Structure 1
């Protein structure tokens, strides 16, 4: 993982020497920045997140300790190591008290300075840092759990989540819902029929909690009771009754009798009239979206009956019923979400399921299903600008003509092929855009080989996060971005050294390296000094 190091010292020679030292320590994977004063360092810290600061402790204008205080406010996770020309105990004590990661003397060996930075990096990547992050995440998760429970159960009820038993069981456990994914349940939908005008929004919310508490006291002793408040007037409950002696009969009868009592208690104790609609029998989790929609519509249709309704919805087997059509629409909407997110496998799997279950249904349902899918595909072709490309691969004129297909099987196959072509074109477009990023980077690096080629500068150039840029570049090219820059600098240096009119110092500056560091760098890369390479190149060219 790449870490950003900022070197701060008012002596240019010290800054240059340390920069060269850490450039040679390639195993540390550092993106290096330099500042000639504490104020320069603050300016850099305002623009760039820095992981490690290596700073002189005594500088004109602002001391290293004052800089440390500023860093703590701006980047609390940043580690600071101090350098000093003198072993001053009072400064050492104060630096450590304020949270410095270390204190070194400028006279220390180069290996000790590199080791100090390496130890800081190891600590940043260590188990303690990870554990602290996990504990913070767990605390935030617990604080957000009621909202997460409500969001998950609402999406499940509205059919926005397509979850199997294993996934549901895992989420129930994570959210500590107390429900079992392998058992049926009773679903109850409710609403407050009317509110007294004197109640404020807070009063209404408190009274809804009171309704929930009454229901929980009545039902929870017999099994699991999980309430969800939709808004300040509506709610729904999940009830799983244990200890059934006769499959389906005892739980259903218990819930129905309990609802009547709950309704009366809310009226007498809270003066809150409520209407409730419940499934007549226990239902399976896969049936939840059907019955959630059905019970909501049952309450709406029953408005003319007045307040305090208590309604039950029977199971229906008609595949073209209002409930089935509602679920159909929910699944078709889910198709659109999967297509928008580029989730190819899930989209094609759901599409296959919808097409298979449509066969044999009424012609009206077949028509509606086909044209909703066709319109979805056409809309996304236009939005992504791939209409012409798709039409070059398929007879696009058949998309909005169901009667042009000899059978439903043929029509379904055509829709699947169209979706496959769209996903393939989108993958090509992503690949092309990724190659454009690489080409843009290479072009800029070639033109500015002597300039600022820091990771943050290159990331700004292509509009990407620097860490993501590193991963993306390696994924696309198979090598690291810093490796590419190093190889290019070396190639350019060899080319320039063949020109006898250029001094070696000029060659160094033209590839963006300090002349004093260039010789060591070149010899490390080639085993030859720049002068030795120039002489050998001259001999080869004369032969």
Structure 2
């Protein structure tokens, strides 16, 4: 039902207008009355008014001024003016000032019905457009969230090849705040558990829990949420530490816990990592929050584990050791992997329990990245990843952790070896998946061939055979597909869209876009209703 506000300085005229027709039969209801334009504006501010029917001549603010104010501050509210013959020309001249239609006094019931029918169609059409626009904005916002989540996950897993790529990706995904000098951050890991210990309910509410976490993060400019597939019932938060000290990690954790308990009736176990400084420490900071979480008690009660993990307990692991381990896997050299693993985590390194756990998690992350790159997310590999995590969380199972990592590495190496002796289908599938996830980065056959340890000419050949298009064609098609989605966001400039899909020049992007879509980016936007 559409809401109507009747405005006239004479009570009898207001009542008479109400009795002219059955308003509900026409799809309207009288929501309020006002004696002048000033009262009307006050009512419009407090209530949802779809249609205003107002007299022209009234004290304080007259009908024409009221229409102008509505057009300026409440553009969705339609205004119909009631006038006598003496005001007819005056009212006609005011049609550009916010008046949608007019009726001559005394109001004829049939004319009133005709005007209301037109207004109903206009109101309903505009509401449909608003709903479609809101839906589109949600889709675009979700797309940007997905891109940001992927960037965050890659950042904490250190899946990018070069620092310049990291900087470029963060800028493109509107995460520039991470690039501030000496940026300080803290990770928070949140797991949901059912009050009654029934895992089925946790499974049913997992998606809702993820949406709730994203909404909490959206409400704070310095808080970011992302999902790590390796931790099914958890969401991860990255908190940028503000200079004013407001919104501490503990306060954020309590807010999350309160909202999940109130809205979902689920318990939460939360681990808070230590404060890290700079992008290079993000990975270790993330692991520290997971280790804090792993110190929680079993059961179905809510808990926040804070300050369990002390930064001074961690050794400074050189990143080149992880690269050596990854290279050993890529080169299918199990002997080299075990040698590097022993240097990294061997008993002779004399590490603390927590330092060993951090190191083991870093290696596990590296192995998972290789498995993901080659699309090895099989049940056996997922089982070994889970067993490795469980062993690390025990904090006192050194041999068990090493054995799990060796077993996992052996299985991945075998899969990599099998991939390279096939007709190239598995390699190409891995490359295709990588392109789909990193289309906005600087990609070339040379970069991909180095990443997948394969000759670039051979990769070019088997890619075209398996996909049916060459590498450049596939990459451009993917970029254009994503560009069309981003162009539907009216808040993104053309250069922003170009950068998000891997183009440094908006002019070149526009040329390529028009070649593939038959329209320039601006023309495409206009065709979707965006100016």
The interval holding the TM-score normalised by the smaller chain is 0.3 to 0.5
TM normalised by structure 1 equals 0.34
